[in-house]
Structures are given as C-alpha cells and as structure tokens.
Amino acid sequence: MASLNVGNLGEYLREQRRNAQLSLRQLADAAGVSNPYLSQIERGLRKPSAEVLQQVAKALRISAETLYVRAGILDAERDRDDVETRAVILADPSLNERQKQVLLQVYESFRKENGFGADADAGADADPDSGAGVDVDAAVDGAETVKNPHS
C-alpha cells in the first residue's frame, strides 16, 4: 500500500499519542476507531475523515483544527469557522443524529445564500429568498422535537 499525501499527520498523531502516554490500542478505544485503522493513519496509509479526526483529537485532548490542517482538510483561514461550527454541532450530546443533520443542512443553506458555501459561485445568481434549496421552516419544524429543559 503506497503512502498517501496527508502531510505529517501520522507522525504528529504518533507524537501526540506518545506525549499522552497512550498505547495505540488505548487511543483507538478512546476515539472509537479500530486499532488497525488508527495504525494505518499513523503510518500515512489512510486519510481519515473530519469526524474521525475530531474523535481522535477529543481522545488526545488537542485541537481538532490542528489535525484538520495537518490532514489537508482545512486549507484556508476562511474555512476555519465553518469547520469549527460543524465540529461543535456534530459533538453536541444534546442533539440526536437526525437533529444534527437538519441543523447542518440549515447552516449550509444559509452559508450558500450568503456566498460562503461550497457551491456559492454556482448559486450566486440564485434568488436570495430561496433558502438555497433547503425548506428551513420544514427543517426547523422537524427539529422541534428537542425539549427545552427550562420550559
């Protein structure tokens, strides 16, 4: 298997794991990934998703953003807020998976509407009141199953 171009992510992860005095197996368990998969990441044979990097960062108690940059997921400074926002939404234990996905869809819709989404150039001439294809009212109605503990 040839080594992928993931910068020095693997070396950095190994160094952070050793600094935390964790074995490969301990980190894999803490991050919720398989031991062989984590080993392949450390050796540069696999490029992990942002979600896996977030789990590993949490287990190591380091910044997920640092791992995103080293993995080539976060290339530009302007992407930082977007990645952080998505990570916070995905990490929120008070939301279920469906609610997280609805919230991410609404978030992406607003970003596209404001010219910051991945398809912003393609949708630049779109009607700004269109919501970029997401029915925000329906999405919000669908997400209202979250109970407010203060009400």
Locate the domains of the chain by residue range: 9-71, 92-143
Q: Say if residues 73 and 83 touch (Cβ distance below 8 Å).
A: yes
Q: At what angle do helices 80-91 and 64-71 cross, to 10 degrees?
A: 130
Instruction: State pLDDT tens for residues 7-23.
Output: 589 999 999 999 999 99
Strand partners, 53: none
44 vs 135, which has greater pLDDT?
A: 44
Cα–Cα distance, 83 to 38 (Å, whole number): 22
> Class assignment of domain 9-71?
mainly alpha
Q: Which of 39, 89, 92, 29 lies closest to 60 in space, CA to CA? A: 29
Instruction: State pLDDT tens for residues 75-103.
Output: 655 566 777 888 889 888 999 999 999 99
Please report which confidence band the pLDDT of residue 45 belongs to, taking 50, 70 and 90 as the band edges: very high
Please report which confidence band the pLDDT of residue 124 belongs to, taking 50, 70 and 90 as the band edges: very low
Please report which confidence band the pLDDT of residue 141 belongs to, taking 50, 70 and 90 as the band edges: low
Q: What is the mean pLDDT of residues 124-140?
A: 48
**How far from 150 is each of 91, 92, 94, 100, 112, CA to CA, in Å?**
22, 18, 14, 21, 33
